[in-house]
């Protein structure tokens, strides 16, 4: 203990202690080093271009200074928010960042263009997807169930005799809101308006003669099929745009998967069980 008291009384010890206190106080009280925000000429040009696209006119010198000032304030707040960890746990920000990364991954394959042979091979491999459906063109004479009630079918049969005898179809029947003439419609399109049963019978009707009555939810119809095209496999020139879009979509998905696997390989993933211990 005497030796310790003698050591404490040494002037050198006092000097070292006081120096340490002063150094610590200085380090604590001095302001942190200023971090740099660089607003490049190219970035300013981008701000001006964005202003022009938004307003239709280039910004004045004063407006340009305002754009720069707003950007600097936003950048300061952004950096301070990150420093405070405000990005942690923000689900909206997380989704936005994930979306931006997905866009970056997609960009890797966005510039790839298929050759003619690649498009033809893709079409051949997916022929059923691009098969052109059968279509018919027809006109019809309509007999409204709302107007004729239970007599709609009998009235349609009477009109059918008149049509087969050479009567003008335009002067017979009731008005149909969606028109009497239908050009190159698929079974699906006809089904959407008249119903599946009508579409099936219309496609089965003989071309170039009056058929019916064919019933729908609206009433009875007499149908004249003027044109019929059977379903067929298209030439590449007929569906090139669709084939190209689908080919590129598949390549993007393949490229994204490769890139995602590469990124995921950087991480060790641990999935903890959430089941209750036995």
Q: Cα(9)–Cα(17) distance, rounded to whole angstroms?
A: 12
pLDDT in tens, 105-152: 777 666 678 889 999 999 999 999 999 999 999 999 999 998 888 889
Paired with 193 in beta bridges are none
Q: Cα(212)–Cα(235) distance, rounded to whole angstroms?
A: 36
Fold of 133-229: Chitinase A; domain 3 (3.10.50)
Q: Which distant-in-sequence residues (6+ apart) come within 8 Å of 75 by Cβ?
A: 37
Q: Cα(122)–Cα(114) distance, rounded to whole angstroms?
A: 10
Task: Please list the pLDDT of the chain residue by residue as tens digits (278 residues).
Answer: 555 455 455 555 454 455 555 545 444 445 555 678 888 989 899 999 999 999 999 999 999 999 888 988 888 888 888 888 888 888 888 888 888 888 877 776 666 788 899 999 999 999 999 999 999 999 999 999 988 888 899 999 999 999 998 888 888 999 998 899 999 999 999 999 999 999 999 999 999 999 989 999 899 999 999 999 888 899 999 999 999 999 988 888 888 888 888 888 888 878 777 665 44
pLDDT in tens, 200-225: 999 999 999 999 899 998 999 999 99
Neighbour count for residue 93 (Cβ, 10 Å): 13
Helix or strand or coil: residue 57? coil
Q: Cα(249)–Cα(257) distance, rounded to whole angstroms?
A: 12
Q: Which distant-in-sequence residues (6+ apart) come within 8 Å of 178 by Cβ?
A: 193
Paired tokens of 249: 């979509």
Asked whether 198 and 214 are in contact (CB, 8 A), the reply is yes
- Output the average pLDDT for the chain: 83
Integer distance in angstroms from the first to the last C-alpha of the chain?
A: 60
Closest CA to 215 of 161, 270, 144: 144
Helix (H) or strand (E) holding 60: none
The pTM of this model reads 0.52
């Amino acid at each position: 203990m005497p030796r310790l008291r003698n050591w404490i009384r040494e002037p050198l010890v006092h000097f070292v202690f006081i120096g340490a206190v002063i150094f610590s106080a200085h380090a604590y009280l001095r302001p942190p080093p200023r971090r740099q925000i660089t607003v490049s000429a190219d970035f300013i040009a981008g701000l001006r271009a964005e202003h022009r696209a938004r307003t239709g006119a280039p910004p004045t010198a004063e407006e340009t200074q305002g754009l720069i000032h707003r950007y600097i304030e936003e950048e300061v707040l952004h950096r301070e928010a990150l420093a405070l960890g405000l990005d942690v746990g923000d689900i909206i920000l997380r989704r936005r960042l994930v979306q931006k990364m997905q866009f970056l991954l997609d960009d890797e394959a966005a510039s790839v263009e298929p050759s003619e042979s690649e498009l033809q091979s893709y079409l051949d491999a997916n022929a059923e997807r691009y098969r052109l459906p059968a279509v018919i063109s027809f006109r019809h004479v309509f007999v409204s169930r709302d107007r004729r009630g239970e007599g709609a079918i009998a009235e349609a049969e009477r009109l059918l005799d008149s049509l087969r005898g050479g009567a003008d179809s335009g002067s017979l029947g009731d008005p149909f809101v969606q028109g009497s003439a239908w050009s190159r419609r698929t079974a699906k399109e006809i089904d959407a308006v008249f119903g599946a049963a009508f579409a099936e019978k219309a496609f089965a009707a003989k071309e170039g003669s009056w058929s019916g009555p064919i019933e729908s939810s609206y009433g009875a119809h007499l149908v004249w099929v003027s044109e019929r095209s059977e379903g067929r496999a298209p030439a590449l020139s007929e569906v090139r745009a669709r084939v190209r879009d689908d080919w590129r979509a598949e390549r993007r998905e393949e490229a994204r998967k490769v890139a995602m696997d590469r990124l995921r390989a950087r991480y060790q993933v641990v999935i903890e069980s959430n089941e209750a211990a036995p």
